[in-house]
Amino acid sequence: MAYPLQLGFQDATSPIMEELLHFHDHTLMIMFLISTLVLYIISLMLSTKLTHTSTMDAQEVETVWTILPAIILILIALPSLRILYMMDEINNPLLTVKTMGHQWYWSYEYTDYEDLSFDSYMIPTSDLKPGELRLLEVDNRVVLPMEMSIRMLISSEDVLHSWTVPSLGLKTDAIPGRLNQATLTSSRPGLYYGQCSEICGSNHSFMPIVLELVPLKHFEDWSTSML
């Protein structure tokens, strides 16, 4: 999760988020090089009186500044399209969890089990225990197995919501009457926090999401105890 005064992204926990971080660094480096070049040219124009009378008529220069931006756009578009297809691809999910957004809490249903569902409300500040995080802790965490492909089905029963967990690279809108899906895979165990990222009313900021990723055996023990 994020820490105070953090400027960058949260640490990646899923392969998709790692790809997104690499793409961010790749694009940022291209932007840095372009900005440096433009700043250098502007500084030259302001600091020197030397001019070349045939520069504005040179066909070679026009060809370069037409083709070069096209190449740069291709270098950005190809990795972006690759990640988009990776995020949409779902191959044989081993577990499916249905998430419904409400004003203002989340409800979860493990569709592979006969009767395993619960509501997840934020814990009020007055009820927090020492070490728990304000506005982020919930009474029922979503327990999931790590290192497994999990399909999240996301919808809403009232208004628009957005189910978001930054460290997993997940942000999917919960739309009434429509079922969206996302893939979730965690490479290590831990607690991962998120919040609703779509303004959904007066208590929009009180809809936290807490995922508890555990080894498969612990998940089986938890699911057995919940049934």
Tell me, what's the pLDDT at 88?
Answer: 82
DSSP for 142-156, written as a single string: EEEESSS-EEEEEEE
CA distances from 197 to 5, 70, 135, 185 (A): 20, 34, 14, 21
Q: Mean pLDDT across the stretch 45-69?
A: 77
Q: Mean pLDDT across the stretch 74-93?
A: 89
pLDDT tens digits, 163-174: 999 999 999 999
**In the chain, where are the structural domains located?**
15-88, 95-226
pLDDT tens digits, 110-150: 999 988 999 999 999 999 999 889 999 999 999 999 999 99
| Domain 15-88 architecture | Orthogonal Bundle (1.10)
Tell me, what's the pLDDT at 211?
Answer: 95
pLDDT tens digits, 176-218: 999 999 998 999 999 999 999 989 888 888 999 999 999 999 9
Assign 220 a pLDDT band (cuts: 50, 70, 90). Answer: very high
Q: Spelled out in words, what is the top-level CATH class assigned to the domain 95-226?
A: mainly beta
